[in-house]
Amino acid sequence: MTASQDPARRTFWPLLRQATAYELRKQVAFRVGFVVRELGHGLVEPLVMLCVFWALYRSAGEGAVLRGWTFPELVQYVAGLLVVRKAMFHNRALDLSTQIFEGRVTKYLVMPMDYFVLAVARFTQYTLLQLGIGALTWTIGALVAPEHWLFPVSFGACAGALTLLLLGSWCCFLVYYILNALAFWLDVVWSLLVMVWFVISFAGGALLPVSQMPPVVFRVLEYGFPYWTISAPIEVLMGRLAAADVARGLAILAVTAALLEAVRRVVWRRGLARYGGAGM
Amino acid sequence: MSTPFNFYVRVARQYTRIGWVRKSQFRWEFVNQVVMDCLYYLSFLLTFQILYGLRDDLTLAGWTRDDIRVFLGMAFVTDAFMMTWLGQSWHFGDDLKAGNLDAFRLRPGPVWFTYSFQRFSPEGLTNMLVAVGLLTYGLVRHPAIGAADLWLVPLAFAVAFTAQAALVVLLQGLEFWAVNADLSRFFSQIFTQISDRPLDVYPRGVKRFFIWAVPIGALAWFPAGVLVGRHGALFVLGYACLIALFAVAAGRLFARGMRRYESAMS
Amino acid sequence: MVSAPREVALAARGVRKVFRTYERQKGWRGVLGNFVRRDWQDIVALDGIDLAVRRGERVGLIGANGAGKTTLVKVLTGIVPATSGEATLLGRSSFDLGDAEKRRLALVMGQKSQLWWDLPPLDSFRLLKEVYGIPTREFEARVAEFSAMLTVEDKLGIQLRQLSLGQRMKMELIGAFLHAPEIVFLDEPTIGLDLVSRETIREFLVRLGRERGITMVLTSHDMEDIEDTCERLVILDKGRVLYDGELVELARRVSGKRAVEVHVAPQHALDEARLAEAIAAHGAELAGRTALALTVLVPAEQLTPLMRVLFEIVPVRDLSVERQPLELLVKELYRGGAIPTAAANPSSTTFPSPDHGPEEPTPEEPAP
């Protein structure tokens, strides 16, 4: 069946637009909730990390370099982390497992559409909103503390970092989607999602730069998508990684995304075969 | 007339029994959550191991590697207490919106207790054992802590657990003024992130705020400091009293907040 | 000999309950506008309710959707506070009940479970045993007795979420009566249940209510629930009391009318004008109409003349005649029909304030 003949494929983009607009409207329905969930999320941990490094470098002495990082560079890293963590897809935007447990997926299965478009709408809405909030955060930081803040070394670095971030965020989204879809088999899924978040944030450099970890650890982690989603884009903006590294990162992310997409399709198809439609 | 003490004991015993009954039906969830928390502990231990490994002479605002082991053990124990007894608090925002506090309003006993403590978690208890093990390891390895200091451990636990319960009740109370905002979940996460590092790493104003105004310092910083001998006797006594007052204030705020409860109309 | 009036168990005096909400504007401009500025509105759920229920009374509380029944129950039980006015239960302000009062009170909600969803009911009952401090022997006896009455003895060990709706409701009732409450509120306990389950539950309530003198307030959309269980009826409409009186009194109002249901042959067209004229001429009214049947309410003395005319106009296939169901009268009332005034009823006159004791009994009247 060609794209023009298949109703699901024909409606994908219009439905994606509609669903994204609807999801965005939902986010602004509750004011305090919006501030708490969307603006506040992901702001505190990088600042906590900064305080820890400040205490550490104070004990190390003025101008100390610890495994290739000075304190001013770490401040810039944290500034980058504030933006990157915002934009990177987080599972709180996806409640697929709950929908499966409660049988709310059922009504979509009889419609001439691909259910995946609704999840993609969540991703799109989340990314658009959080990129905007990230940009606002960056602007405020640049105005308040320009001498410490992270300014991209070039427009090219900006483009490279953004591409890595978006592709990496897409990989995170696919991972969360697959884990959520395990709800077709398991009674409980949320603990798996939390575990994956721990792994992604540690392996990606949300607690400390990956390149500051012991060399043997770094050599392993630099082949994983978390590093190219969190740590690497920041280092690209700082000029610590070059264009060749960006290309390598994009290749790793592209291969990861392709593999995850294949897994996603298999898991969804198999899961639907088991689906009991509970709650119909 | 206030609720008698044996009410709390009887109900807590039943909640414990029910927690075990529940978990016997969801064994996969039990294993999952134990593994999840162990990963959480591991990520922290690894992070601090890497940080202190950057150079041999590093400290964190005066906290040595030996001190941090005790600190992390204490932070994990408090977190495990939260998981064991106060897991229902994660659902408070949703329950408030859905009007699920009705039954607790009707029954004898304070709502803050009958609601918040209902989800006893055997996996939390298991993690408590792991956390106590890590704390014990930290205490044993610490050069300045001896057997004579062990009497401080129950005091440290008492202050930490009281503060944790009071904080949960306070955050739930705040949620009555901003339904749909998920305030308790949001602030709970933030306070955990902040209190999982020694307060001495933060700027002075921030440190003072989290010691005196919103005493999350009582979750790990204060009890760990007591164990490693960082605090004087007067401060220890005074702070313990402050935590008790804080607990009373949190309960009052919650009771006030119940007046705003609208209950979803069926 | 006139018996002393019973103590007032619960009362509402001038109770108002107002909820604040805002109207969500449409479109993107509206959504962003809502973010910045909101037009708050007050929704008046209860508008000056005066009510008193004495010990042992069984009161039916009915009203259209949105009339305020559930809100009133929640104010009286202290789940939510009244915006203004006074609601008392057992002599204390409803919102400030102590543990002692709560042990004498129960609420069953047909649309909201109070037991633990993922536990067998027996485990929930054991928890309630500790919460209410029920002695073990009494607890076991009541569980056995109530589960036998409701025919769910073999379901006590099955997870609540795996039970049918009827079974779940029965478990909710057992849980509510375990601690031998003196006052029980039931908010649509039979909603969504099959006929047999409803019957069983009604019998359970009637039996316990009569044997143990329990004060009951029952809300329901099913008039049979009310007629079988209650002796007094309160009708709410838009947050106000529309009617408050004995059910017997209301039933007397309808005894003078008959409801005639006429089944017609569908293929024959009706002379509508003649039909309407005949109905009006006999002081009757058309109470219901479908493609296959008409229901006509007629004064009893006009029944025979009207039937003669109907047989001439309407191709009758089948016919039934019964006293006007209470349901049809209540429908009339919802539509703004005439009602007996509440002042004519002795039930709702006195309102004790919190902390005052029960009323002084009136002196006995001399025998005729």
Q: What is the tens place of the pLDDT at every residue in B101-113?
A: 999 999 999 999 9
Residues of chain A contacting C31 with CB distance shorter than 8 Å = 25, 28-29
The mean predicted confidence, pLDDT, of chain B is 92
Partner C contacted by A110 (CB < 8 A)? no
CA distance, residue B263 to nearest chain C CA (Å): 7
- Find out whether C109 and C79 touch, Cβ atoms under 8 Å: no
CB contact set of B177 (below 8 Å; sequence gap of 6+):
B257, B260
Query: In this complex, which of B13, B22, B266 lies closest to C109 when CB atoms are compared?
Result: B266
A193: amino acid identity, one letter: L
- Which chain A residues in 207-246 lie under 8 Å from chain B, judged by CB atoms? 207-208, 212-214, 217
Residue C235: what are its φ and ψ, rounded to 5°? -110, 125
Does A189 or B70 have the greater pLDDT score? B70
**CA dist., res. B25 & res. B258, Å (int):** 34
Helix, strand, or coil here: C193? Answer: coil
Closest to C80 (Cα-Cα) out of B106, B109, B107, B249: B106
Are A28 and C28 within 8 A, CB to CB? no
For residues B244-262, give the mean pLDDT.
93
**CA dist., res. C48 & res. A233, Å (int):** 64
Report helix angle A12-27 to A116-144, nearest 10: 50
Are A28 and C32 within 8 A, CB to CB? yes
Closest to C253 (Cα-Cα) out of C344, C316, C191: C344
Report the range of poorest mean pLDDT among B12-21, C7-16, C253-262.
C253-262
**CA dist., res. A101 & res. C214, Å (int):** 41
Other C-beta atoms lying within 10 Å of the C-beta of residue B24: 10
What would the two tokens of residue A208 be?
A: 């400390």
Closest to B52 (Cα-Cα) out of C256, B20, B44: B44
Residue A146, classified by CB atoms within 10 Å of its CB into exposed (0-12), middle (13-18) or buried (19+), is exposed
Are C35 and A31 within 8 A, CB to CB? yes
The mean predicted confidence, pLDDT, of chain C is 83
Are A28 and C31 within 8 A, CB to CB? yes
Does position C314 have pLDDT exceeding 80, yes or no?
yes
Q: Which chain B residue shows the shortest CA-CA distance from A42? A: B190
How confident is the model at residue A5, as a pLDDT?
A: 61
Please give the interface size between B and C, counted as residue pairs whose CB atoms are below 8 Å apart. Answer: 81
Q: Which chains touch C (3 or more CB pairs under 8 A)?
A: A, B
Are A54 and B182 within 8 A, CB to CB? no
Helix, strand, or coil here: B60? Answer: strand
Please give the interface size between A and C, counted as residue pairs whose CB atoms are below 8 Å apart. Answer: 12
Helix, strand, or coil here: B237? Answer: helix
Quote the DSSP letter at residue B56. Answer: T
What would the two tokens of residue A279 be?
A: 């709650």
Q: Which chain B residue shows the shortest CA-CA distance from A207? A: B47
Other C-beta atoms lying within 10 Å of the C-beta of residue A236: 30
Other C-beta atoms lying within 10 Å of the C-beta of residue C307: 17
B135: amino acid identity, one letter: L
> Which H, E and C letters describe chain A, residue by residue?
CCCCCCHHHHCHHHHHHHHHHHHHHHHCCCHHHHHHHHHCCCCHHHHHHHHHHHHHHHHHCCCCCECCECHHHHHHHHHHHHHHHHHCCCHHHCCHHHHHHCCCCHHHHCCCCCCHHHHHHHHHHHHHHHHHHHHHHHHHHHHHCCCCCCCCCCHHHHHHHHHHHHHHHHHHHHHHHHHHHHHHCCCCCHHHHHHHHHHHHHHHCCCCCHHHCCHHHHHHHCCCHHHHHCHHHHHHHHCCCCHHHHHHHHHHHHHHHHHHHHHHHHHHHHHHHHCCCCCC
The whole-angstrom distance between residue C345's C-alpha and the CA centroid of its chain comes to 19
C146: amino acid identity, one letter: F
CA distance, residue C263 to nearest chain B CA (Å): 38
B127: amino acid identity, one letter: N
Does C325 or B124 have the greater pLDDT score? B124
- Find out whether B42 and A34 touch, Cβ atoms under 8 Å: no
ipTM of this complex prediction, to 2 decimal places: 0.90
Partner A contacted by B49 (CB < 8 A)? no
By DSSP bridging, strand C183-187 and strand C105-109 are parallel
Partner C contacted by A28 (CB < 8 A)? yes
Mean pLDDT per 10-residue interval, chain A, length 280 residues:
60 82 76 75 89 94 91 95 90 86 81 86 91 91 92 93 96 96 88 90 93 94 96 95 94 97 95 69
What would the two tokens of residue C272 be?
A: 């509508």
CB contact set of B114 (below 8 Å; sequence gap of 6+):
B11, B104, B107, C131
**CA dist., res. A26 & res. C34, Å (int):** 12
By DSSP bridging, strand C293-299 and strand C285-289 are antiparallel
Residues of chain A contacting B60 with CB distance shorter than 8 Å = 52, 55-56, 59
- Find out whether B220 and B160 touch, Cβ atoms under 8 Å: yes
The whole-angstrom distance between residue C360's C-alpha and the CA centroid of its chain comes to 30
Residues of chain B contacting C80 with CB distance shorter than 8 Å = 261-263
**CA dist., res. B179 & res. B263, Å (int):** 11
Partner A contacted by B23 (CB < 8 A)? no
Per-residue pLDDT tens over the stretch B6-60: 999 999 999 999 999 888 777 788 888 899 999 999 999 999 999 999 998 899 9
- Find out whether A182 and A267 touch, Cβ atoms under 8 Å: yes
Which of C10-22 are b and which e, b meaning 16 or more Cβ less than 10 Å from the residue's Cβ?
Answer: bbbbebbbeeeee
Q: How far is CA A171 from CA A100, A218, A220, A262, B36, in A?
A: 22, 20, 18, 12, 22
Are A34 and C35 within 8 A, CB to CB? yes
**CA dist., res. B143 & res. C352, Å (int):** 71
A80: amino acid identity, one letter: G
**CA dist., res. C217 & res. C62, Å (int):** 10
Closest to A30 (Cα-Cα) out of C41, C42, C22: C22
What would the two tokens of residue C287 be?
A: 């109470």
The whole-angstrom distance between residue C260's C-alpha and the CA centroid of its chain comes to 27
Are A202 and B43 within 8 A, CB to CB? yes
C122: amino acid identity, one letter: L
- Find out whether C147 and C174 touch, Cβ atoms under 8 Å: yes
For residues B258-265, give the mean pLDDT.
78
How confident is the model at residue C334, as a pLDDT?
A: 67
Bridge partners, C235 (sequence order) = C62, C243
How confident is the model at residue C350, as a pLDDT?
A: 39
**CA dist., res. C143 & res. B65, Å (int):** 59
**CA dist., res. A210 & res. A208, Å (int):** 6
B215: amino acid identity, one letter: P
**CA dist., res. C20 & res. C38, Å (int):** 11
Query: In this complex, which of B18, B21, B263 lies closest to C80 when CB atoms are compared?
Result: B263
